[in-house]
Amino acid sequence: MILFFSCITIKINLCFPSIPSSLKTVSIDGHFDFEQVEHAAKDFGNRYSYLPLAVLYPKSVSDIATTVNHVWQIGGGSELKVAARGHGHSLQGQAQAHRGVVINMESLQGLKMQVHTGNFPYVDVSGGELWINILRESLKHGLAPKSWTDYLHLTVGGTLSNAGISGQAFRHGPQISNVYQLEVVTGKGEVVNCSEKQNSDLFYSVFGGLGQFGIITRARISLEPAPEMVKWIRMVYTDFATFTRDQEKLISGQSTFDYVEGFVIINRTGLLNNWRSSFNPQDPLQASQFKSDGRTLFCLELAKYFNHEDMVLVNQVSHS
């Protein structure tokens, strides 16, 4: 009986060679890590935790394509999965791969970020670039992305694969509506350029596709002139009906605000007065009368972009 089971074990090992050993034969400029992989089994949602076999730290798009093609060549029988991980802000385990390969997109190197000015300005960036870096670089040219997320320390590929909803979406659409072109590594390991007119099926499938149609390795993102100043306002509600009515009014207006975002919080331990103070410090009476600890609150964050010569007009909008 012992001999029988030993033969079975040998047969299985012959038919299905060790996947990590197979990955070690892949010729890349970057490297695989087979030891320190625990961090790739976590994400912002904290609902799922899938431990990968390896984490790839690519230096080039070729590293990603070669790895994906290697997995493709192994075949579906291995059940080896590949997932791209940016800043790990996914909620449903999108950036995880159970006993698979997680690609650390933030280590991706290649052409430097390139800002193009003109009548239709844009920036070419790596899929592993953070939005905060795009903003900093584009501002040097007096430009800024049209649509972004409220948290800017996220990767381009990560947010585009989730559509990229922002406070500017009611004016410019989500982030995926402001991209001219993509470079994508397909499930076969092919590097493909796509746009509205070139490989359009792949272009529209990748947007909001949660990484199921390819890995975004480069994007051409639309820019617009950046304002000189921004006025930021926060409004807090205890009544949901009033909150939604005001939000609908603000996003339907033509000359109101440029950024409108609504969210819900439970005000515990004085969160309201400690996080981005909601009251004028010269009006402590108003703050003391706002009894909200432990209550569900509804918040609107608003921003109006303007230049110095528009100061009077902006104040009129803010009080209307």
Q: 20: how many CB neighbours lie within 10 A of its CB?
A: 12
Report how far apart, in Å, the C-alpha atoms of 242 and of each of 84, 216, 249, 260, 320 are. 41, 40, 11, 15, 16
89, 124, 129, 183: which is the annotated catalytic residue?
Answer: 89
Judge whether 145 and 138 are in contact, CB under 8 Å: yes
Judge whether 216 and 157 are in contact, CB under 8 Å: yes
Task: Verify whether residue 89 is a known catalytic residue.
Answer: yes
Which residues, in sequence order, are bridge partners of residue 117?
none
29, 38, 79, 150: which is the annotated catalytic residue?
Answer: 150
Task: Verify whether residue 261 is a known catalytic residue.
Answer: yes
Judge whether 187 and 68 are in contact, CB under 8 Å: yes
Q: List % helix, strand, coil for the chain (3-state, nearest 5).
A: 35, 25, 40
Distance of CA 115 to the CA centre of its chain: 20
Distance of CA 229 to the CA centre of its chain: 26
63, 124, 183, 261: which is the annotated catalytic residue?
Answer: 261
Query: For the purposes of burial, counting CB atoms within 10 Å of the CB of 287, is it exposed (0-12), middle (13-18) or buried (19 or more)?
Result: middle
Task: Verify whether residue 248 is a known catalytic residue.
Answer: no
Which are the catalytic amino acids? 89, 150, 261
